[in-house]
Structure 1
Amino acid sequence: MTSHPVALDTVAVPPRRTLDLLVLDRVKIQAWDRILFVECGDGWIAEEAWRRAVRAYVCGLDLSVALIALARQLREVPGKLEFRTWDRHRLPTPDGAFDRVVATFVPLGVVDPAALLRDVQRVLRPAGDVYLLYPAASEGELRRGLTRAGFTEPHELARFDGQRALLMHARAGRQKIV
């Protein structure tokens, strides 16, 4: 985990990649982790996390069938790095399957944030970590949603993109909320 600012050439790196890199530099990633990315786009962020974690299992989800097809074609390694679509109502993974969940810009107008956070709590192992990258204007809604879903210690890790994007971290409660 990096605690100092990361300098990136934003001319050479597309804006989504810039934010993905900044997020990955702050997410606690360890060997053997099981990590879920919600709204992974073309899968680059999931692949980069998998490379950093050495022996991890990483799964990327996205609402877009086209982006998941591209991610599978470019990046999938069966049993190690996999991609799936999701229906915006329920994450297609078993209970307690992941150590970390990273959700980046899940469309709040399309997905019920409270329901999503309860489902994230469901798929996390007890004391697992959730990282949320959202517009900073959503901070109050995110904090309330995390608390209602049973997460503990919600706090801001960083602000990006001229303070418009906010990365929050919280820990799953020890008791599973169903």
Structure 2
Amino acid sequence: MQLQYNSPVVLTYTFICTIVLLISSFMPPVMSLFTVYPTMSLTNPVDYFRLFSHAIGHGDWAHLFGNFTLILLLGPMLEEKYGSANLLTMMFLTALITGILNVIFFSSGLLGASGIVFMMILLSSMTNLRQGRLPLTFLLVVILFLGKEIVNIFQNNNVSEFAHIVGGVCGAVFGFMEGGNKK
């Protein structure tokens, strides 16, 4: 039996995030490159990089494992359905949108792949989208997802429910735009 690099975007993303966390364990300042901060200098190129690189950084191993359990479960199916380039574009746009909105509206930093996780959750619930039909599974996921995040907003937990919600909205928008189309 031969190993297959079956999902290049998802696997490469997983390895990059793991390597960044490993390096930051020995060199903590590295993580500042992978955190979007609440203020941004329009003349600092690193701040533009952080708008999407925050989705690579993770606070600790539990944070990384929590996110990549779902990414490794959902990502290969989505990469097969939509293609590597489309999935990479969706991940990049989700990270960029959550980064920009965090700078505009919040006074806290942001790091982690949670927005991408929730983009994948809602996008995967739309895999059976057909012309003129809305999957009941999509509606149930939206209701459960939004309900949980709205309840969690009122907890002091160092989790950006906002990023989860924005990621989910991105997944829904991408799903409707793709209309269930394959690559």
> What TM-score results when the alignment is normalised by the length of structure 1?
0.26
TM-score of the two chains, using structure 2 as the length reference: 0.26
Q: Which has the higher contact order (CA 8 A, sep 6+)?
A: 2
Name the larger-Rg structure. 2
The structure carrying a bigger strand percent of its residues is 1
In terms of fraction of residues, the more helix-rich structure is 2
